[in-house]
Structure formats: structure tokens, C-alpha cells
Amino acid sequence: MKHDAALLVIDVQNAFVQGGSMPVPNGLEVIPVINRLMPLFSHVILTQDWHPLGHHSFASSHANKQPFQTTQLFYGEQVLWPDHCVQGSADAQLHADLDTQAATMILKKGLDPAVDSYSAFVHADRVSKTGLSGFLKERKVSTVYVCGLATDFCVAWTALDACEAGFTTYVIEDACQAIDLNGSLDAAWQAMIAKGVHRTSAQAVRDARAANKA
């Protein structure tokens, strides 16, 4: 029997792999790992970063700013990125090699031009919510496994907010890859561990699911 856990597959989009606008080193490596995990879950949620042109998280929207610098937005410090995941562009599409048939929901995020959204649960203003917590709770999901791109941004923020919302939360380390900007990967793991996020591997998840089925 599959139990009440959801797999959250974060931002496996053309933008974040080789050839995209903001490639995460080794980003493509997550795809076969995630494809093997998806059939083990009865709830699979995909997220898609989906920004309007001129989004405030783009360096190009600010005078004298380069990608990977930061600026102050009304909700706090924001890392500025290359233009990426512009709505409707090929760059914003989910990667063609990702098996999307098993997905029960595709959540688009980052639509508000003034507010970024790394997390699948709460926008970067830390106030407005996506509705994912309610969606999962209505389906009696109490445990989430998070994977995808990038470990230190969208995966970490999603995992932290999942914990905050009361879900038992795992991050599947080898089903993720990181950007690692100025120590952001270590900082993300420290924050996740401090919050109670469990760090696991794809093999451990497969073993646990097999034991659960037996």
C-alpha cells in the first residue's frame, strides 16, 4: 500500500538545466533519479517557476544591477537573477525528459511581478500562500518528500515551509542539485536541519517504500 506521502518535484524546467537561462550545475542529473521515484508515490506535485516579463527578481528590471547581486524589495533582500522562466517561453517548460504522467498537480509560482516565490507554499513576502498546504491536507497527506532544483533556493524554501505547515519533511539529496552562491548550499542545509527537515537519499526512499508495500 502506498502511504500518505507526497513527492514535491521542484522546478525541473529547461531554465535550470544545461542550455537554459540559469543552469544549475549538473541539473540534468536529477531527472532519471526523480523519474524512478515518482511511481512510488500516489501524490506527485510538480512546480513550475512562471514569471511575467519584467519580474522584479530579474536583474534586468533594476538599474545598474547584475545577475547574482542583491537588492532590497518591499519584503526584504532579494537575489537578482538572469531573466528566466518567462511565462510561455521554452525556457519555462518542464523538461521533456521528466515523466509528468504521474503528476496530480502542476503548481505555477512567481506570477506576481513584485513578489518572488522560491517556496511552493508561501511567497517571498512570507505572507501570501499558494494553497498547496490545503491541497495536501485535504488529501490526508502528512509527509512530503522534496526534490528538484535548486537545493539551496526553491527546494530549501519549500522544505522549510513544509515543516512550518506541519508536514513531516524529507529532502532527497541526490534527487536535487544546487546553485551554491556564496555558501548558500551549506546555509540551506543548516537551516533545514535546524528546522527538523530530514535529509535522505533516493535509495533510502526506495527501500522505505518497498518495505512499506510488503
Write out the residues near ligand VGL by the rule CB under 6 A.
11, 16, 49, 81, 118, 149-150, 153-154
Partner whose binding site includes residue 150, from ligand VGL, Zn ion, none (CB under 5 to 8 Å by kind): ligand VGL
Q: In whole angstroms, what is the distance from residue 208 CA to residue 202 CA? A: 10
Among 49, 83, 152, 161, binds Zn ion (CB under 5 A): 49
Q: Would you say 176 and 147 are in contact if contact means Cβ atoms under 8 Å apart? A: yes
Q: 122 — alpha (psi -120 to 50), left (phi > 0) or beta?
A: beta
Rounded to a whole number of angstroms, the minimum distance from the CB of residue 149 to ligand VGL is 5
Pick from ligand VGL, Zn ion, none: which does 167 bind, CB < 5 to 8 A by kind? none
For ligand VGL, give the closer residue by CB, 16 or 189.
16
**Helices and strands (H and E) in the chain: how many:** 5, 8
Closest approach of Cβ 52 to Zn ion, in Å? Answer: 11
Angle between helices 156-164 and 184-195 (to 10 degrees): 20
The number of CA neighbours under 13 Å toward the Cβ of 159 is: 32
Q: Check if 2 is active-site.
A: no
154 catalytic residue (yes or no): yes
| Count of all residues that appear for the chain in the document | 214
Check if the beta carbon of residue 169 is closer than 8 Å to that of residue 146: yes
Q: In 3D, which of 10, 5, 4, 44 has the Cα closest to residue 147?
A: 10
11 belongs to the catalytic site:
yes
For the CB of residue 86, give the shortest distance to ligand VGL in the complex, in Å.
12
189 binds, options ligand VGL, Zn ion, none, Cβ within 5 to 8 A by partner type: none
Q: Which of 11, 83, 91, 116 is catalytic?
A: 11
End-to-end CA distance of the chain: 8
Which does residue 91 touch among Zn ion, ligand VGL, none (CB within 5 to 8 A, set by kind)?
none
Which of these ranges, 41-49, 72-80, 97-105, 183-191, lies near Zn ion under the rule CB under 5 A?
Answer: 41-49
**Shortest Å, Cβ 146 to ligand VGL:** 12
Catalytic residues: 11, 109, 154
